Structure 1
Amino acid sequence: MWVEIYERGERMFANLGTGQCQWEAPIGEPIKQANLSQWWELFDHSTGRFYYYNAFKMTTVWHRPLDADIIPLARFQQRQRRARQDSQISNSKSTTSANNDATSTASNNTSTRQLLNASSAGHSMSSREDLIEEMNEEEAENEDVILENTIALSACTTPRRTPGVGAESSPESSPVKTLNNSRLITREKSKSVATPTKSPADKKIKRSLSAASAKIPKSNFGEACSGAFLLNRGFMKKPMLVSELLTFQKKQLKRPLTNGSSKILMKEFGESFRLVNSYLENEKMCDLVSLISFGWNHSEIANEIYPSIIKQSRHNPNDRSLQVALELTAICLYFFAPSNKNVQNLIKEWLNLHERDHKPFYQSCLSRLKKVVEKGNRRGLIDPGEPEILLAKRHIYQKSMFGTTLEDILATQNEQFPELEIPWIQRELTSVIIRLGGLSTEGIFRLPGEIDRVNALRVDVEDYHVRNADDPHVACSLLKLWLREMGKPIFPEELTEEILNTSENKEESLEIISKLSDLTKTCLTHLIRFLQVFAKEKVSQKTRMDSANLAMVMAPNLFRPMSDDPRLLLDNSRKEINFLRNLIEGMDTSSASEYDSCFTVEKV
C-alpha cells in the first residue's frame, strides 16, 4: 500500500509493505492521500511505546488521536532500520579485502533476501503486541526512532517525548538530530515504474524554486553566530544555514528566528517581524515607535529584532531596503542592546560587509553598539517617544552635543553663537540651575533628577532651548551627563597620572592647569567659577554642599578611570576629589567673570 507523506511542505511516497520510498508518485498504484488529520504511528525504543506525529501541525502525542487518519509507519521504521544495519555490515565486509568481493556480493544478496523475507513475514503480523515484541528484540544501539530511505541509508533520530499535546516543544524533549552530509531521502526514481508526467503547475513551481536558489547563493554568513538561532527545519530535513535563515521573505514568520524560550518572545515575535518589514517598506513613524518600545521593554524581543532587520535587508528586491535597515539598526542601538553575544557578533559581521559603501552608517552603528553594550540600555520608566527617536535618527547624520569633543561642539554651534568661547550647553545649564533656585536647594548636584525628565530636557537642549526646564536637579543631572559623556574628558587621560600626583599639594595642582589646551582651560575655568559660587559659606549652609562635597560628586564626571582594579580605583578617586577641591578653593577664575550675570554672583 502506497501512502502520500508531507514533511514541512515536501511530498514523498512510501510503500508500507516493501519499505520503498520515492519522490515521484507510483504510476498505476492506489495512493492514500495526505491530509491535515493524518497522524504517523511510530515506535519509541526508549520507552517501548507507540506515539503519534502530525507533520502538518508538527505535534507529537502519546495517545492515539480520535477521528484521525492513522498511518502505521512503525513497521516501515523497523524495515528501514534492518536494511540500514544489513547494508552497513555488507559494506564493511566488502572493504576488508579485495579477495572477498565474491563473498561480499553473496552476503549483500543474502541480506536483501532476508530483508524481503522479513518484510513479507512482518506484513503478515497483525497485532500491535507482536510488533512491540519484534522491535524489542532489536539491539538498541540507538534509542531514538529512525525514519529513512533504504537507498540513501541516512539516519534520523527522533526525540524522547513527554506525553501530552505539543510534546515536541516540551522542555524535557531533546532536539531532533540529523546528518549534515546526507539527505534523509535521495531523489532516486523507482526502477519498477516509469517516470510520471508532471503537471504544468509542478513545472512552474520547480522553475520558480530553481530560479530563487540560483539567485541567492549559499554562503558562510553568520555561521560563527549559529548558536543564537533555530536552524532545525523538521522531522526529516537537515538544518539550514544561517545565511539561508537570514534571507528576505515576504511571508510572516511561523516561529522565532532566535532560540529564546520566553513567553513574550513566542507571543510577539510575529508582531516584531511585521513591524520591521513594514518600516523597511513604508518608513512610517508609528511602526518605528512601536518597534523601539518592543525592543526597549523586552530583551528577548531585542535579540529577535536585529536578526529580523538583517534578514529583511539581505537579497531584498527593494534597493533602498539596505540603507533603511542600516538606519533602523542605528536607531535601535541608540536605545537598546542585544543581550545575546552571538547577535552582537552577527551585527558586527553584517556591518563589516557594508563598511565601504555605507561608511556613515557603519561608524554610527559600531559606536552605538559599543556604547550601549558597555553602559546598558537607555534609562527611564517612560517608553521612548517620537521626539527622542527623531533625535536618535538625526544624530546618525550630524554630531550630537553629547559624546563629542569640545572642538566639535564649538564648530557645530558657531553659526548660531559665534561669540561664545565655551559650549552653549555649558553656559545654559549652569544658568538654568541658578535661575531655578539651585543656590537654595538642599542636596543640589548630589540628588539625581528624575531620569525621564532628564531625557526630555536632553531632547530640548539638542535643539538649543531649555524652555521646559523646571527642576534644578534635572538640569544638574544633565550637566553631569554631558561632562561624563564627552569624547575627551576635561582632564585628558595622558595627564591623569601627573594630575593625581599633585593632588596633595594645592600649589602644584594649580600649576598643572597650564598644561591643558586653551579651549579646555577656558571651559574648566567657567565650570570652576560656577562651582565656587556654590562653595560660598552662606550658600553651602542652605544646600549642605561645601567644596569637599561638590568635589566628591563632580570629580567622577571630569576624569576617566585608569584601571579596573577596585583598590586602585578607590585610591585614584580620593586623589581626584582632592585635586578638584584644590581648584575650587584656590583657582583664579576672574577670566570667566563675563559670565557673572548668569551666576548672579553679586546677589549671593
Structure 2
Amino acid sequence: MSSTIIYGAGSLDEDTKRHSRSLDLDPASRTARHLHQRSVSDGVDMFIPTEPIATTIPMSNSVFSLYKKFGSPGRNRSLNHHCESNKQSQFSKSRASIGSAFSSLSSSRKSCSQRFSCVSSPVNNPGAAEAMSPMIKYNTINEEQATIVAYDEKTPSYLLAQTGESKRSLPCSLQQEINQFSIDGFAHKYFATHKRGLFRRAIPMNELLSWTRDSIKQPLLLSNKNYKDALKCFKILQLLMHDRQRPKHFNSMESFQALLSCGISKGQMRDEIYVQVCRQLNKNPRGESIRKGWEILCVISVTFPPSKNLESSLFRFVEQHHNVTANQVDVLSKYVSLKLIRICSRGARGKVLSPAEIERAMEAPFKPSVFGEPLDVIMEQQKDDSSRIPKIVTFLTNAVHDLNGQTSEGIFRVPGDADAVTELRIRIENGNYDSTGFDDPNVPASLLKYWLRDLSEPLIPTSLYDDCISNAHDKEKAVEIINSLPEINRRIALYMIRFLQDFSDPQVIEHTLMNVVNLAMVFAPNFLRCPSVNLTTIFENSKYEQAFLKTLITELEVDKEACAFQDMDIIGRIKVAQ
C-alpha cells in the first residue's frame, strides 16, 4: 500500500498523482468569504521546504497567497514528521506545480481585488454627474428617436435617398442576405421540413428559399395539407416564368386563371402561392424569369391577400427590391407594394380575373389605371384634357343618358352583364373612351358605381365621416361639408349629386321605379366608407349615410357643366324654396 501525504492541497497518492482540490474539500466545511477577508489559518503550521524551490521552479508570492486563501480553516495542516526527506522534497515540487496551475487564476483574482479596492467615497464632480444622469440620457435618446422618426416620415431609407457623388449603396452580397432574412424568419417558423436522398437528410432552409428548376415533392408550408394543389401551383409558376420547358399546347392564360382560382377558392393556398413566387425570385439567375415573376406578383397582389402571418415578411421582401433597376424591378415592386396595402385592407376578389384583366394587371405598373388610384394621380394622366374632373366620370354619365337610362327600370340597382362591364373597363383603361357596341345602360351605370367604390380614398374623406353622420338631416351642414372638400373631390361630388337629381324627377321615377330613397341607398356606400370594421356599427351607420346623401340630392343646387369644365370656383348652394 502506497504512502499518502495529507496537506492543504489534498491527498497526494504516489500512484495516481491527483492534486485536484475539489477531491479533498469537504462541502460542509466550505465557507464563503469576502475577497479581502483573510483565512484564520493563514500562517499556521506552514510547511517550510527544505530545498530551495525558487531556484528550480519560479514562483511568485501571489501564488502562495492564493493557495492560502483557497485553504479551508477546518483542514489539518500538520505534516507527518516521520516522512523521509525525499517525500518532503516530492511534496514541495507537487505544491509548486499546484501554484503554477493556479497562476493565471491568481492574477485575475488579484486584478479583481484591486478593482474593488479602488472604490472610494464619491468625488464632487458636477460635470460627471450631469453626464451620467439617466434623465439626460433618456431625453437625448428620445430626441434622437424623434429625429429618426421625423426623417423616416420624409424618406423611408437613408441609403436610397442619397444622390450624386455621396450616394452609397449596400454591397450586393449584403443586400442578398437582407433579402433572404426578410422571408427567412417566416420560413423557419412555418416551413415544413423537406428531406431528400437515401438517408432522408433535411434540405437546408436557405436552399428551400432559393430559385430552383426542379419540382417540389411537398408543399413549402407546414400547415398546407393540399399536396396536389401546391405541387400543381408550383409547376404552373415555373411554366409561366419559363423555368420549365412548356408543353406544345400550353395555354398560359388558362394556367394563370387556374392559379388565381386556387388562391381565391382555397384560403390556405394563398400563402403557399406567395411563398412559391418569392422563392423563385430569390437568387434567380435569369433576368427574363425575374421579370415574369414580378409580373405574376402584380396580378396576384390585386386578386387575393396574404395571411397576417406572412404579411409583414412579404412587405419587407417586396420593399427591399424598390432600388433594383435591373429588369425594371423597382417599378414592379413599388406597384406590388401599393396593391398589397390595398388588397390586405379590402380582402380577396370574388371571381377570377379574365384574360384581358390579367394582361392589364401585368401592364399596370407602366400604364397607370384610372381605377383604384388616387384622384390626383388620375388627373395627372389627363393633364392635357380640358375637363376639370376625371374624364371617366363624364364619359360614363353621358353613356347612361345616351343608352336611355332614365327609362330603364331599376337603373343603378340592376347590375350590368359582368363580361360587358369588364370589356368596357378594359377599353377605358387602354384609353379608348367609346361605348360603341353596348346597348344596356346598366353596363356604364355599374361601372360608374365600381369606379367610385374602387377609389383608393373615398370621395368624401374619412376625416369628415363623423360630421356627415352627425349632420345627416341638416341641409346647411351637409352642403357646408361638401363645399369644404378638396377641389377635385368637391367637383366630382357636386357633379354626381346633380347627375342623380336627373333621376329623382317624378316622371323619370315612373319608368325607373328608383325614387330618392332608393338612389341614396345605392350610392351612399360609394360616397362614404365607414372606417369601423364592426359589422354592427357599419349596419347602424348605413341609414345615416343614406339620409346624408338623400338630403344632398333633395336640397343641393349646382350647375353640372360648370363642375366639369369651368375654371371658376364651384360651390354648392341650398335650393331656393318655390
Q: TM-score, normalised by structure 1?
A: 0.56
Q: Which amino acid aligns with 2:350?
A: R
Alpha-carbon offset, residue 288 of structure 1: 4.6
Alpha-carbon offset, residue 575 of structure 1: 2.0
1:437 corresponds to: 404
Secondary structure, counterpart of 1:222 in structure 2 = helix
The separation in 1 between residues aligned to 2:255 and 2:300, in whole angstroms, is 9
CA contact (8 A) 2:194 2:202 kept: yes
Q: Which amino acid aligns with 1:508?
A: K
- With over 3 angstroms needed to count, the CA separation of the structure-2 counterparts of 1:457 and 1:376, relative to structure 1, is farther
Superposition pairs for residues 523-602 of structure 1, below 5 Å? 523-592=492-561
CA contact (8 A) 1:329 1:365 kept: yes
Alpha-carbon offset, residue 279 of structure 1: 6.5
2:426 to 452, 459, 481: 459
Q: Which amino acid aligns with 2:205?
A: V
CA contact (8 A) 1:440 1:539 kept: yes
1:247 to 207, 210, 226: 210
Alpha-carbon offset, residue 336 of structure 1: 3.5
1:369 corresponds to: 340
What CA deviation, in whole Å up to 9, does each residue of 1:59-107 have, x standing for no partner? xxxxxxxxxxxxxxxxxxxxxxxxxxxxxxxxxxxxxx9869xxxxxxx
The separation in 1 between residues aligned to 2:536 and 2:517, in whole angstroms, is 21
CA contact (8 A) 1:276 1:309 kept: no
Alpha-carbon offset, residue 553 of structure 1: 1.0
1:330 corresponds to: 298
**Are 2:416 and 1:449 equivalent residues in the alignment?**
yes
Secondary structure, counterpart of 1:315 in structure 2 = coil
CA contact (8 A) 1:280 1:324 kept: no
1:308 corresponds to: 276
CA contact (8 A) 2:459 2:527 kept: yes
**Are 2:406 and 1:406 equivalent residues in the alignment?**
no
CA contact (8 A) 1:336 1:377 kept: yes
What CA deviation, in whole Å up to 9, does each residue of 1:274-295 have, x standing for no partner? 324417999x997652442122
Superposition pairs for residues 388-537 of structure 1, below 5 Å? 388-415=357-384, 418-463=385-430, 464-465=432-433, 466-537=435-506
Alpha-carbon offset, residue 217 of structure 1: 8.2
Superposition pairs for residues 343-362 of structure 1, below 5 Å? 343-357=310-324, 358-362=329-333
CA contact (8 A) 1:256 1:270 kept: no
What CA deviation, in whole Å up to 9, does each residue of 1:476-498 have, x standing for no partner? 22111111122332212222222
Q: Which amino acid aligns with 2:505?
A: K
**Which segment drifts farther, 256-265 or 502-511?**
256-265
- With over 3 angstroms needed to count, the CA separation of the structure-2 counterparts of 1:270 and 1:550, relative to structure 1, is closer
2:356 corresponds to: 387
The separation in 1 between residues aligned to 2:317 and 2:445, in whole angstroms, is 39
- With over 3 angstroms needed to count, the CA separation of the structure-2 counterparts of 1:457 and 1:279, relative to structure 1, is farther
CA contact (8 A) 1:292 1:384 kept: no
The separation in 2 between residues aligned to 1:424 and 1:286, in whole angstroms, is 40
Q: Which amino acid aligns with 2:210?
A: T
CA contact (8 A) 2:499 2:560 kept: no
CA contact (8 A) 1:458 1:478 kept: yes
CA contact (8 A) 1:223 1:242 kept: no
**Are 2:240 and 1:272 equivalent residues in the alignment?**
no
Q: Which amino acid aligns with 1:335?
A: T
1:75 corresponds to: none
- With over 3 angstroms needed to count, the CA separation of the structure-2 counterparts of 1:554 and 1:591, relative to structure 1, is closer
What CA deviation, in whole Å up to 9, does each residue of 1:495-539 have, x standing for no partner? 222233222222332233321233222222211111001000011
What CA deviation, in whole Å up to 9, does each residue of 1:422-472 have, x standing for no partner? 211111111112222221222211222333332222111212323343322
- With over 3 angstroms needed to count, the CA separation of the structure-2 counterparts of 1:592 and 1:583, relative to structure 1, is farther
The separation in 2 between residues aligned to 1:250 and 1:325, in whole angstroms, is 14
The separation in 2 between residues aligned to 1:420 and 1:497, in whole angstroms, is 31
2:261 to 267, 272, 297: 297
CA contact (8 A) 2:186 2:310 kept: no
Q: CA RMSD in A?
A: 3.4
Secondary structure, counterpart of 1:278 in structure 2 = coil
1:117 corresponds to: none
CA contact (8 A) 2:239 2:245 kept: no
The separation in 2 between residues aligned to 1:519 and 1:384, in whole angstroms, is 31
Q: Which amino acid aligns with 2:480?
A: E
The percent of aligned pairs where both chains have the same amino acid is 26
The separation in 1 between residues aligned to 2:240 and 2:221, in whole angstroms, is 15
Alpha-carbon offset, residue 593 of structure 1: 6.6
The separation in 1 between residues aligned to 2:190 and 2:354, in whole angstroms, is 30
1:199 corresponds to: none
Alpha-carbon offset, residue 556 of structure 1: 0.7
Superposition pairs for residues 156-171 of structure 1, below 5 Å? none
- With over 3 angstroms needed to count, the CA separation of the structure-2 counterparts of 1:244 and 1:346, relative to structure 1, is farther
The separation in 2 between residues aligned to 1:271 and 1:297, in whole angstroms, is 15
- With over 3 angstroms needed to count, the CA separation of the structure-2 counterparts of 1:451 and 1:333, relative to structure 1, is same
The separation in 2 between residues aligned to 1:390 and 1:473, in whole angstroms, is 25
- With over 3 angstroms needed to count, the CA separation of the structure-2 counterparts of 1:297 and 1:568, relative to structure 1, is closer
Q: TM-score, normalised by structure 2?
A: 0.59
Q: Which amino acid aligns with 1:425?
A: I
**Are 2:185 and 1:223 equivalent residues in the alignment?**
yes
1:201 corresponds to: none
The separation in 2 between residues aligned to 1:557 and 1:594, in whole angstroms, is 19
Q: Which amino acid aligns with 1:311?
A: R
